[in-house]
Amino acid sequence: MQHARSGDVGEQAAELWRRYTTVRNRSTQLIDGLSAEDCQVQSMPDVSPAKWHLAHTTWFFETFVLAESGAPHHAFDPLFGQLFNSYYNSVGRMHPRAQRGLLSRPALETVLKYRRHVDQEMRAALPALFAAGLAPRIELGLQHEEQHQELMLTDIQHVLSCNPLLPAYRSEEPPVSVPVVPTWMHCEAGMRRIGHQGDGFAFDNETPPCRVWLNAFELASRPVTNGEYRSFIQDGGYRDPLLWLADGWTQRQADDGDRPLYWQADLDHAFGLHGLQPLDPDAPVCHLSYYEADAYARWVGMRLPTEAEWESMMIERGIAWNTGEGATCPRIGGAPAIGQVWEWTSSAYAPYPGFRAAPGAIGEYNGKFMCNQFVLRGGSCATPPGHARPSYRNFFPPAARWQFSGLRLARDA
Amino acid sequence: MQHARSGDVGEQAAELWRRYTTVRNRSTQLIDGLSAEDCQVQSMPDVSPAKWHLAHTTWFFETFVLAESGAPHHAFDPLFGQLFNSYYNSVGRMHPRAQRGLLSRPALETVLKYRRHVDQEMRAALPALFAAGLAPRIELGLQHEEQHQELMLTDIQHVLSCNPLLPAYRSEEPPVSVPVVPTWMHCEAGMRRIGHQGDGFAFDNETPPCRVWLNAFELASRPVTNGEYRSFIQDGGYRDPLLWLADGWTQRQADDGDRPLYWQADLDHAFGLHGLQPLDPDAPVCHLSYYEADAYARWVGMRLPTEAEWESMMIERGIAWNTGEGATCPRIGGAPAIGQVWEWTSSAYAPYPGFRAAPGAIGEYNGKFMCNQFVLRGGSCATPPGHARPSYRNFFPPAARWQFSGLRLARDA
Amino acid sequence: MQHARSGDVGEQAAELWRRYTTVRNRSTQLIDGLSAEDCQVQSMPDVSPAKWHLAHTTWFFETFVLAESGAPHHAFDPLFGQLFNSYYNSVGRMHPRAQRGLLSRPALETVLKYRRHVDQEMRAALPALFAAGLAPRIELGLQHEEQHQELMLTDIQHVLSCNPLLPAYRSEEPPVSVPVVPTWMHCEAGMRRIGHQGDGFAFDNETPPCRVWLNAFELASRPVTNGEYRSFIQDGGYRDPLLWLADGWTQRQADDGDRPLYWQADLDHAFGLHGLQPLDPDAPVCHLSYYEADAYARWVGMRLPTEAEWESMMIERGIAWNTGEGATCPRIGGAPAIGQVWEWTSSAYAPYPGFRAAPGAIGEYNGKFMCNQFVLRGGSCATPPGHARPSYRNFFPPAARWQFSGLRLARDA
Amino acid sequence: MQHARSGDVGEQAAELWRRYTTVRNRSTQLIDGLSAEDCQVQSMPDVSPAKWHLAHTTWFFETFVLAESGAPHHAFDPLFGQLFNSYYNSVGRMHPRAQRGLLSRPALETVLKYRRHVDQEMRAALPALFAAGLAPRIELGLQHEEQHQELMLTDIQHVLSCNPLLPAYRSEEPPVSVPVVPTWMHCEAGMRRIGHQGDGFAFDNETPPCRVWLNAFELASRPVTNGEYRSFIQDGGYRDPLLWLADGWTQRQADDGDRPLYWQADLDHAFGLHGLQPLDPDAPVCHLSYYEADAYARWVGMRLPTEAEWESMMIERGIAWNTGEGATCPRIGGAPAIGQVWEWTSSAYAPYPGFRAAPGAIGEYNGKFMCNQFVLRGGSCATPPGHARPSYRNFFPPAARWQFSGLRLARDA
């Protein structure tokens, strides 16, 4: 949560405000084409309604910036503090997560008013916030909102997938991937340093930077594709318990899943933000659980990388993010790029040595989730441009499948 | 499902169309003041979104009148057959009941168009429908829609109750009850005849009329009130297992319920369609489960009536229904009236001797639910005027609490 | 719970003691051939370990006879009051039903000692008990124990069925049924009187006798057989939702059951107390749920009888019970007999008009279960000889399948 | 799974046989004082009946030694392969884990015969097994059996704890701990090597040895005690969500746990293998979940150690195991010893770099569980003497509480 300090304050403030406006607008643009009803639905406990995302990200600024600034602040509605608190026990009661979809009030329109209200208060208070040293907290709020922008897309996709009408979020044709033959990228054994080290923004879970020893290893130059994954299915991969972690096999038997979430039974079509589409064999496979990613790697005799391997390789190679504003399905181009699907690593989500959660409520942001989750690295088509970086640590429970989650193969060198 | 036949066909058709228009309009009037989001939410599996009710009642006419008439018929959307089928296995697949709240599409606006589309087709086909003998089926569709009108109100109340903002469906003040001292109505032992016998409409479960022997008994002249029920609570009624049926006690321990649904912990306020309001001690207690009604009766040393006792008494006394268009909370006036709360009887919902379900899909309307439910008699403030009658059999599982369900005491004479 | 009074007291006491000894011995004989481990297992919450049955029936005498007599009484172990209380809230805490199988202590041997201890106390106190008017209570305890003798057999069968070794409780060959062509027994319409009316013992739920009007009807002369039921399965009966009550269809889909409990997939073998045996096509089908019995009746265009029809017919015809000491699987002989399988009736288990539960703890015996259950009439191969009678009301939830439950067809005449 | 090779084969075989006899006898000695019923009960899915442990460990030798040796082998009962397979998909079907307590057959006596049968076959085949290179596999079987010896004790304790009689497994008085003031043991930053490196036996999950960088840190000289943990409870530790991982807080709210498993509500007594006993304030706290251990550490401003820190410290300091044959409750003496309670580390259970599961069924031993579990280090009072070592990795899901699991504090230096 560090923030660069350069130039004079007025210029910094103007710059921050431009960024604030851009990020905030992007959120509301995401519901273009959706109805208030679309923004109301919660299709499973992990999913939040789009309306809730729009309100919660606003609540974040109200609670952690405006309310902490000491500046005069007029609450839009005192009950919103409870309705749109996600998981911060420090700041009071919260509406149960699984019941977010029951909140037909406030209306979407009211939530949009709430957004404008807080934006105006933010604008008016901006000099005072800067003076109070809250610029880094504003940046945290924007990064937080960018995270929710990705969640809005994954959640909308899940909501629409539950409707037998299979409606499309985007009506245009999805892009087509280019076939790419994967190569191996080699890394020598040695001490490395991972974690956030520069001046730019980073979440607390990327710090402090730490030393780690790596044996020699190799990473594939691109993620595994739909076509490759289909071969795994057709070879009986979902029927062979020896390929699966014990928990994964138990889950597979419980839900009788035999293919990635959103794939149709014919293995030739998949549902996505563009509606039901033919499966692109050259696009990266996604919406995999950790168990599926791990089983696939075992099937080909490889393994998933650790997060230290992943980060070290990306830094050494200087690999660029391949993202585009507004992409809504993962595709592969020609370069060994990252940024189309999140890549499961074999690293359990844990604090780096010396990690300390921030004092106060903000300390609940990341630290308390460091258990029963795995780290994903990279970024996806739904990640806002510029949001991710080599040290970025995304994390989800191993059974989660509704994110844009795929894998890249690794092997010992 | 019999229907009166009198006058000439043209007049009958005009009469039926007036009734059709009245009933259909009443449904859409029920969502006045609600947003599309309000009409989207399903707060528990038993509840359906208001939008779904509006579509399903329309589907009923499309499926069981238009499609069976042989008249040319243009389906508004072929997939609606699946989306809005409630439980008729005979006519094809159905969307899972617990997932009705996930259908953000079709939009409320589209459902309203669907209603107009079917209404126009009905109007155009009316002569042909009459000629094909489908007038009774149309009447069944209207009775069916009236049932859903009551469900819309109970479901909306439940949906709004799940919102910490506790929004009111009706902003005006609720009416106030008049205190009434109950008396006992006496009935001699003897053979009686219950069930539907006249010319008017009745559901198949009210037939055939049947003979039943009754011992002498007495019924209270009015339902139990909130004030009386509060005394039961304050006397420890929810903590004494000897007052409860075994299943009721198990459920009480599981959900730790210690008061009627919608009552606040202070026992002085309750949520309803008028929002959070002081508890009216003279109004009939409602939103009770069968278990609660039965425990209360045991506490006062009485019992619930059987449905045969209830029906016989109402016929002998010629007791009038006390209903008013648009009432949204139960109240008691001066007369020994019925029609403000449904009254749990001790009769399990079962077929009358000689009952036969209708052939075809319509046979699924009632018969297959004759198991694990209890009969309620009377009618409630939310029942459309003229809908109920002495032989009317409402039914719900004993644990259901979200209906306007109360009780009237009975005792052996 | 009435009890005959005749002869002088000493003779009566001697007679009662002979009966006491016979019944009590029969319970312990039921575990002949079983190990302490066999008597320990609880294979589902509805099942109790044989050891628990042996202790609970003893606890009944200790609690409801010895402790109430005022005679000096030495508790074998004060904690047994909690361990072996089944469901009597009036007499204190109870061990949770689903955890009876966790009680490795007391050992089976200790429970047998407990039985002897209470038997000795009973014998010593017999004159005092008689003087205190507790003879009817002793008889109730014996009837209660006979009920548990049947449960011991059904529970043991379920326990052994969960073991892949499929061990047999009885090693001898099971008897073979004689094919019997069913006829219809006719009954005219009219008023009848059902319920217990004589001097002998009856449970409170058989009283008071009551008048009931019956339309003319017919009952089959024998229960439905395995062979007949197999035709229903082979005709697709388990795949046609129109044959099933809604709750039954839901359950069928949930557990994916497609045949009676204990039948093997080949429809040619079934597990029972004699181990895995070829299905006897002429024996009565059993281990059916109410849903299965009801669906079968609908398939053949008939229905289940009401309990009033069943009782009236058996009285009019004077049909004899066909039971034999120690039978462990239902068979059909030549006469229109009853007593091999319990027969589901279409009557929900409810109090007879004027029913009052006994005061005190004994009032919990039957009354609080009059909800969500159906009445079965007749008796089974596992019912102790002489235990059942025409007015006897057995009852189970409609989903229960582990009892010896079958059906007899009825139709309107 | 490496095994030392020294001396000539005959001597080695004799030595191995002595060890085989010792270990195998120890298992059967553990049920001294238990009845067949005690050995039958499965009190929760994680627990196995003692009888099952005795059979499964025997099955292991039958399946992975005798059957793989090529020597003539007579199966005691062919169905045992299914009944006593724990989780090896490679070797065929298995009885469901949660239903082990339903197997009243084979009787305990039969299982003991099965043990003798396999022991005799092992003895007869010993030379052939040696010749076939199966000595390391025999050692694996013995180590496996030692693991189950500890599980037998933890499982028996859980079984007995479910009985309101609270029976004691051991009737003698438990030992009393000596108060020890903890000190900090310091370790400098630097590269370390962890994992199994010598000649002796180790499980595959301890290999290959690997390099790891450690920052300077300190470990407490003894585990946290009951008295210290009681202060945490009394300070409101179970009511402050900020002390808990999110998953831990969710679980705490779900089961409403407010103290360690087996502690009584008075915080002054706890149930154990010696029955209900006063809580020893100086003994190490145990039966903690990972969540409880982690919350305690956060409360005192410290943290749990990583497994690399733990192992490095124990090697550097040469700390001895403090175990004694037959101990059944954890106690603390004077030395900075380990071996009384397993110590939760903050390390998720994961493969060491370069880890490969063994080929064949034995590969299912450890690898497939490397997910959703945490590593515990040390050993407990229930661990067989000599079984554990500095590189030993025990592992359980973070919610598990029925093991002898406690914690040792760590902090950055």
CB proximity list for C359: less than 8 A, separation 6 or greater: none
Residues of chain D with pLDDT under 70: 1-7, 323-326, 333-336
**How many other CB atoms are found less than 10 A from the CB of residue A7?**
11
Amino acid type, D50: A
pLDDT in tens, D106-134: 999 999 999 999 999 999 999 999 999 99
Asked if A191's CB is within 8 angstroms of D368's CB, the reply is no
Shortest distance, CA C354 to any CA of chain B (angstroms): 7
Q: Supply the pLDDT for residue A205.
A: 96
β-pairing verdict for D374-377 and D342-348: antiparallel
Helix (H, G, I), strand (E, B) or coil at C354: coil
When CB atoms are compared, the residue of B79, B107, B160 closest to A37 is B107
Residue A219, H or E segment: strand A217-220
Residue C90 DSSP symbol = G
**How many other CB atoms are found less than 10 A from the CB of residue D96?**
9
- Reading the block at residue B249, the tokens are 């006690």
Helix (H, G, I), strand (E, B) or coil at B120: helix
In C, minimum Cα distance to B362 occurs at C242
Q: CA dihedral in degrees (D247, D250, D256, D262; nearest 10)?
A: -10
Rounded CA gap, A320 and A315, in Å? 10
* Chain D residues lying within 8 Å of C37, measured CB to CB: 36-37, 39-40, 51, 104-105, 107-108
* B to A contact (≥3 Cβ pairs closer than 8 Å): yes
When CB atoms are compared, the residue of A79, A104, A167 closest to B40 is A104
Query: Helices marked H in C274-390 — which ranges?
Result: 290-299, 307-317
In C, minimum Cα distance to B212 occurs at C213
Q: Supply the pLDDT for residue D335.
A: 60
Residues forming a β-bridge with B318: none
pLDDT at residue A336 is higher than 90: no
Asked if B372's CB is within 8 angstroms of C215's CB, the reply is no
| Sign, CA torsion D200/D206/D212/D218 | negative
Q: Supply the pLDDT for residue B323.
A: 66
Residue A128 DSSP symbol = H
pLDDT in tens, A160-171: 999 999 999 999
Whether residue B245 lies within 8 A of chain C, CB to CB, comes out as: yes
Q: Which of A163, C207, D147, D382 is nearest to B40 (CA)?
A: A163
Residues forming a β-bridge with C275: C272
Q: Which of B88, B95, B19, B6 is nearest to B51 (CA)?
A: B95
C-beta separation of B224 from B407 below 8 A: yes
* Chain B residues lying within 8 Å of C347, measured CB to CB: 350
Q: Supply the pLDDT for residue D71.
A: 77
Residues of chain C with pLDDT under 70: 1-7, 323-326, 333-336
Shortest distance, CA A372 to any CA of chain D (angstroms): 5
Query: Helices marked H in C240-382 — which ranges?
Result: 246-255, 290-299, 307-317
Asked if B191's CB is within 8 angstroms of C370's CB, the reply is no
Indicate the pLDDT class of residue A323, thresholds 50, 70 and 90. Answer: low
Residue B16 DSSP symbol = H
Residue D130, H or E segment: helix D108-131
Whether residue B159 lies within 8 A of chain A, CB to CB, comes out as: yes
Phi, psi (degrees; rounded to nearest 5) at B186: -100, 145
* CA R_g for chain C: 22
Q: Supply the pLDDT for residue A4.
A: 44
When CB atoms are compared, the residue of C82, C102, C104 closest to D35 is C104
Q: Supply the pLDDT for residue C334.
A: 58
CB proximity list for C133: less than 8 A, separation 6 or greater: none
Rounded CA gap, B232 and B251, in Å? 18
Residues of chain B with pLDDT under 70: 1-7, 323-326, 333-336
Residue C394, H or E segment: strand C394-396
Rounded CA gap, D262 and A62, in Å? 45
Whether residue C330 lies within 8 A of chain D, CB to CB, comes out as: no
Q: What are the percentages of helix, strand and coil residues in chain C, rounded to 5?
A: 40, 10, 50
How far lies A392's CA from each of A46, A74, A312, D338, D348, in Å?
Answer: 22, 35, 12, 39, 20
Asked if A346's CB is within 8 angstroms of D351's CB, the reply is yes
* Chain C residues lying within 8 Å of B312, measured CB to CB: none
In the block, which residue shows the tokens 């459309």?
B384
Q: Which chains touch B (3 or more CB pairs under 8 A)?
A: A, C
Q: Which of C81, C70, C68, C61 is nearest to C122 (CA)?
A: C61
How far lies B160's CA from each of A53, A293, B243, in Å?
Answer: 21, 42, 32
C-beta separation of B238 from B205 below 8 A: no
Helix (H, G, I), strand (E, B) or coil at D14: helix
Amino acid type, A1: M
- Reading the block at residue B295, the tokens are 């425990």
Rounded CA gap, B293 and B345, in Å? 9
Helix (H, G, I), strand (E, B) or coil at A338: strand
Asked if D106's CB is within 8 angstroms of C43's CB, the reply is no
In B, minimum Cα distance to C246 occurs at B368
Whether residue B38 lies within 8 A of chain A, CB to CB, comes out as: yes
Q: Which chains touch C (3 or more CB pairs under 8 A)?
A: B, D
Asked if A347's CB is within 8 angstroms of D350's CB, the reply is yes
Give Cα B261 distance to the centre of its chain.
Answer: 17
In D, minimum Cα distance to A215 occurs at D353
Q: Which of B156, B87, B176, B169 is nearest to B403 (CA)?
A: B156
In B, minimum Cα distance to C397 occurs at B372
Rounded CA gap, C71 and D246, in Å? 59
Whether residue D89 lies within 8 A of chain A, CB to CB, comes out as: yes
pLDDT in tens, A70-115: 878 889 999 999 999 998 988 889 999 999 999 999 999 999 999 9
Rounded CA gap, D284 and C131, in Å? 61
Q: Supply the pLDDT for residue C323.
A: 66
C-beta separation of A67 from A37 below 8 A: no
Q: Which of B178, B143, B156 is nearest to B281 (CA)?
A: B178
Whether residue A245 lies within 8 A of chain D, CB to CB, comes out as: yes
Rounded CA gap, D254 and A137, in Å? 34
* D to B contact (≥3 Cβ pairs closer than 8 Å): no
In the block, which residue shows the tokens 């009243």?
D104
* B to C contact (≥3 Cβ pairs closer than 8 Å): yes
Count of pairs with CB atoms under 8 A, one residue in A, one in D:
80
pLDDT at residue A333 is higher than 90: no
* Chain C residues lying within 8 Å of B351, measured CB to CB: 346
Whether residue A9 lies within 8 A of chain B, CB to CB, comes out as: no
In B, minimum Cα distance to C360 occurs at B242
Phi, psi (degrees; rounded to nearest 5) at B204: -60, -30
In C, minimum Cα distance to D161 occurs at C102
Rounded CA gap, B293 and B278, in Å? 22
In C, minimum Cα distance to D47 occurs at C102
* Chain C residues lying within 8 Å of B354, measured CB to CB: 215, 412
Helical packing angle, D135-161 and D108-131, nearest 10°:
160
Rounded CA gap, C290 and C407, in Å? 9
How far lies B149's CA from each of A396, B156, B238, B328, B331, in Å?
Answer: 44, 11, 33, 12, 19
Q: Which one has a higher pLDDT value, A329 or B167? A: B167
Helix (H, G, I), strand (E, B) or coil at D234: helix
C-beta separation of D383 from D150 below 8 A: yes
Asked if A346's CB is within 8 angstroms of D350's CB, the reply is yes
C-beta separation of D357 from D341 below 8 A: no
* Chain A residues lying within 8 Å of B41, measured CB to CB: 40, 101-102, 104
CB proximity list for A219: less than 8 A, separation 6 or greater: A184, A185, A187, A305, A309, A310, A313, A408, A409, A410
Percent of chain A with pLDDT over 70: 96
Residue C60, H or E segment: helix C50-61
Q: Angle at Cα C110 formed by Cα C109 and Cα C116, nearest 5°?
A: 95
Q: Supply the pLDDT for residue B364.
A: 87
- pTM to 2 decimal places: 0.95
Rounded CA gap, D203 and D393, in Å? 9
Helix (H, G, I), strand (E, B) or coil at D122: helix
* Chain B residues lying within 8 Å of A35, measured CB to CB: 36, 104-105, 107
pLDDT at residue A2 is higher than 50: no
Rounded CA gap, A186 and A312, in Å? 11
Rounded CA gap, C207 and C2, in Å? 10
CB proximity list for D99: less than 8 A, separation 6 or greater: C162
The predicted complex's ipTM stands at 0.95
Shortest distance, CA A25 to any CA of chain B (angstroms): 23
When CB atoms are compared, the residue of C210, C247, C351 closest to B371 is C247
Q: Supply the pLDDT for residue D3.
A: 47
